Chain A
Amino acid sequence: MNWLSQNLHIVGQLLADHLVLSIPPILLSLIISVPLGRLAAGSPRWRTPLLTGTGLLYAIPSLPLFIIVPAVFGFSLRSPATMITALTLYGCALLVRGAADAFSSVPQDVRLAAAATGHSRWGMFWKVELPLAGPVLLSSLRVVTVSTVSLVTVGAVIGISSLGTLFTDGFQRNIDASIITGIVLTVVVAFALDALCVLAARWAMPWQRAVSRA
């Protein structure tokens, strides 16, 4: 506790850095994955390559990906762009599959009914398919949110500052309070952003009061 009170300022700064690195990849992967998931759900020709590709992407370990991404995209190793790109790739790896499942769960007769009542394909997507896919989409988004927050810490070993810096500093200077603070805060941030997802979903899907699926 003593350590924490003396280092409150640094911890606060690292917490802010952590949020700046975690939130963009979560939002970006949602924006990218919804259309890709819809594409995978709608056409068997796209389904296999999209789902296999994202599945393999997810298998690539995080630290190597943080090193491969800057080499492929031409970023500098320690730039936030590296982290945000790599974490967006991971997020998409999970969410494309989740979104494909979500859109596949929309019953065919509902689609037919929407077409029969004169919805255009665009209108059907926004007014019928997306709202119905919402709950399943939310459960994937929550997984992505929690794992992104936790993965951001790995960047500390290549020198990108986040709550993970508390682990590398604590380890090198032999201060376990620093590491424990980092672990606790990472878990707290993960659950806080998770709760935020649930709240946002309640606001966006007011008809869906019982969104308590993990």
Chain B
Amino acid sequence: MNLLIEAVQWLLDPVNWQGENALGMRILEHLGFSAVVVLVAAAIGIPVGTLIGHTGRGRGAIIAITGGARALPTLGLLTIFGLWLGIGLEAPFLALLVLALPPVLAGAYAGVESVDRATVGAARAIGLTERQILTGVELPLAAPVIIGGLRSAALQVISTATLAAYISDTGLGRPLFTGMKTQQYDMMLGASILVALLALIVELCFQLVQSAATRRAEPHNGHQHRAHSGARERIAA
């Protein structure tokens, strides 16, 4: 427990929040880099996943990709890209993108696919175009599951961005690895606690957004309905 107290002291020491290596900078770096990766993954994954969910074509590929991606070791991806692309942000960016895409794709696909076919049929019957059905009916109803996919992608990225400091000195992994190399346990543990807190805060934010989207998609939800959509979200995750 003494170790934990020392780590908290390290975190609260104003010296560590000033100058070139200020923790505030590392936090911004970490969050900024993670946000860019998730946004790029969303820009690719949501349209592709939506299309597959809408047309039903290519679903086998989605299931294979998401199943296989879970087995891919993140450190292996980081190091191999690091060797091939050299030091810099390209290697961690690519590795993180490879990890972020499958959950986003799966979320978009599962969300759109789970929309009641009768609802889509009704929208078509009252004369909505395919485009209107997609943006006005399917996407809002699928939103909770799509956000669920983004949520697991974001968590995965924040987690792996810590590991990325092993190949390129960036983000909150930097004090973590520095502490490890120089045997400063308070620094290493303090940085670990900070990353864990950051991930928890991001997780809670996503939970709020997701439940807001659920309320919008299912305004009259009964308990059972919610449980049902919860199960779907987990499949997507």
Residues of A within 8 A of B (CB): 55-56, 58-65, 67-68, 71-72, 97, 101, 104, 143, 146-147, 149-150, 153-154, 156-158, 163-164, 167-168, 170-171, 174, 176, 179-180, 182-183, 186-187, 190-191, 214
Contact = CB atoms under 8 A, between A and B. Distances in A.
B67 interface: yes
Given A59-B155, A101-B231, A174-B83, A183 B76 contact: yes
A65 B71 contact: no
Contact of A214 (B67, B77, B227): B67
Nearest to A62: B159
A187 B72 contact: yes
B215 interface: no
Contacts of A101: 231, 234
Given A63-B173, A67-B192, A182-B73, A171 B79 contact: yes
A140 to B, nearest CB: 9
Nearest to B76: A183
Nearest to B191: A64
Contact of A147 (B70, B189, B193): B70
B74 interface: yes
Most buried by A among B3, B71, B189: B71
Interface residues of B, number: 48
Interface in B62-110: 63, 67-68, 70-80, 82-84
A126 to B, nearest CB: 25
Contacts of A170: 79-80, 83
A183 B203 contact: no
Nearest to A169: B79
Interface stretch (B21-29, B49-57, B194-202): B194-202
Nearest to A55: B203
A62 B99 CA distance: 15
16 contacts: A62-B159, A63-B163, A64-B193, A65-B192, A72-B4, A150-B73, A154-B73, A154-B163, A174-B83, A176-B84, A180-B80, A182-B76, A186-B72, A186-B73, A190-B71, A191-B71
Q: For the complex, would chain A's binding face be called helix, strand, loop or mixed by DSSP majority?
A: helix
A150 B74 contact: yes
A59 B71 contact: no
Given A56-B203, A64-B196, A158-B180, A153 B73 contact: yes
Contacts of A64: 162, 176, 191-193, 195-196
Query: Closest 10 interchain pairs by CB?
Result: A61-B159, A64-B192, A190-B71, A59-B203, A171-B79, A183-B76, A153-B73, A67-B192, A71-B3, A167-B79
A170 B167 CA distance: 12
B77 A59 contact: no
Contacts of B159: 61-63
B107 to A, nearest CB: 16
A56 B163 contact: no
Contacts of B203: 55-56, 59
Contact of B188 (A67, A104, A153): A67
B11 interface: no
Nearest to B201: A59
B7 interface: yes
B162 A143 contact: no
Nearest to A154: B75
A168 B200 CA distance: 28
Contacts of A146: 67, 70-71
A143 to B, nearest CB: 7
Nearest to A153: B73
A191 B72 CA distance: 11
Nearest to B188: A67
